[in-house]
């Protein structure tokens, strides 16, 4: 297959769109380098929130999500991304190299997928149940790559145990000063180019109606979505057979796929990683799935009843900070 060099502006536009991908605490721990015909993705270790993400696993998952977002973005621009993962065994932070081949035709479905990148939000408010979940799940399973990543839907009957595991995680970190200082840093009360802005956080009243969630600093928002008395989202778990960097990168790509598929279906999502950060709660999630593999993250999927109450767009780092052209 013949590889082609992309116009620098096409690369810049694709990277800018791809960087709308979600990341732990909106830390955006990625760095892109365009060199010759290739685009390289690196983990920016300086942006890993280590007190939260003890092993750096969530940062690599975040990079997997931005990698899949890039695949979607370049496809909408008429190019196929040819991805080589971990091309240099001596450079573990070099996660992928992307080359490009021209597509013969760009379908409307491909364009809608790219549009979903801009429409997606992390919604921490309580959600109504997703309508016709059975049909959506069938479509979802038909689109994701399950070679190394499994998707399991937790039945509502297990919700109390999952909520207890969520509370356990918070209890174990109650006196972890480093974790709470880091959380305060990434949720500073002003709009910047990274972190979780106050406009995306929830009040105490809103938080009390979501039983499975990370406890962020509470805000003074008026009570939104009062018609949703408690969170009724469906919760899915993404797990991997291995617990390696490659598995985390693969999981991030599937995460991107799930979030964009849900967005296209008109559903709201919220990615949950706090339940897999400590082994105690991760073991609970593993037991609830009934499998011996490695839970990487959970996703709440539901319906936001009122469109105008969707969360605002969260900030992103300037393109010049995440993309470098060499040569």
Average pLDDT over residues 121-135: 96
Q: Residue 168: pLDDT above 70?
A: yes
Residue written as tokens 């690196």?
Answer: 42
pTM confidence score: 0.96
Q: Residue 308: pLDDT above 60?
A: no
- Cβ atoms of 42 and 67 closer than 8 Å: no
Average pLDDT over residues 160-166: 97
The domain 133-309 is classified under which CATH number: 1.10.3720.10, 3.40.109.10, 3.60.110.10, 3.40.50.300? 3.40.109.10
Crossing angle for the helix pair 57-76 and 108-119, to the nearest 10 degrees: 140
Numbered ranges of CATH 3.40.109.10 in the chain: 8-120+314-326, 133-309
If you average pLDDT over every residue of the chain, what do you get?
A: 94
**Both structure tokens of 42:** 């690196």
Average pLDDT over residues 22-27: 97
Fold classification of 8-120+314-326 is: NADH Oxidase (3.40.109)
**Per-residue pLDDT, 23:** 98
Q: Residue 2: pLDDT above 80?
A: no
Nearest alpha-carbon partner for 261 in 154, 130, 148: 130
State the pairing for strand pair 30-35/323-326.
parallel
Q: Residue 223: pLDDT above 90?
A: no
């Amino acid at each position: 297959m013949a590889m082609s060099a992309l116009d620098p502006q096409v690369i810049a536009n694709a990277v800018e769109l791809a960087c709308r991908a979600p990341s732990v605490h909106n830390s955006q721990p990625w760095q892109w380098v365009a060199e010759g015909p290739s685009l390289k993705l690196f983990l920016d270790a300086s942006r890993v929130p280590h007190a939260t993400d003890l092993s750096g696993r969530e940062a690599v998952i975040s990079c997997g999500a931005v990698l899949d977002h890039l695949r979607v973005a370049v496809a909408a621009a008429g190019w196929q991304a040819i991805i080589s993962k971990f091309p240099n065994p001596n450079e573990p932070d070099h996660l992928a190299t992307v080359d490009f081949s021209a597509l013969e035709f760009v379908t409307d479905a491909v364009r809608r997928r790219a549009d979903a990148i801009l429409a997606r939000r992390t919604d921490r408010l309580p959600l109504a149940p997703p309508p016709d979940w059975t049909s959506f799940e069938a479509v979802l399973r038909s689109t994701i790559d399950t070679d190394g990543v499994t998707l399991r839907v937790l039945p509502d009957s297990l919700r109390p145990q999952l909520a207890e595991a969520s509370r356990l995680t918070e209890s174990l970190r109650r006196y972890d000063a480093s974790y709470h200082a880091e959380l305060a840093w990434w949720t500073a009360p002003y709009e910047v180019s990274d972190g979780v802005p106050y406009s995306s956080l929830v009040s105490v009243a809103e938080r009390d109606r979501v039983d499975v969630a990370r406890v962020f600093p509470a805000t003074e928002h008026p009570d939104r979505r009062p018609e949703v008395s408690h969170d009724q989202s469906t919760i899915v778990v993404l797990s991997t057979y291995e617990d390696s960097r490659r598995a985390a990168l693969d999981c991030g790509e599937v995460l991107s796929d799930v979030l964009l598929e849900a967005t296209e279906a008109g559903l709201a999502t919220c990615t949950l990683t706090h339940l897999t950060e400590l082994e105690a709660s991760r073991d609970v999630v593993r037991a609830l799935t009934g499998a011996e593999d490695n839970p990487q993250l959970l996703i709440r999927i539901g319906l936001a009843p009122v469109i105008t109450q969707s969360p605002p767009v969260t900030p992103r780092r300037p393109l010049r900070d995440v993309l470098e052209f060499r040569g």
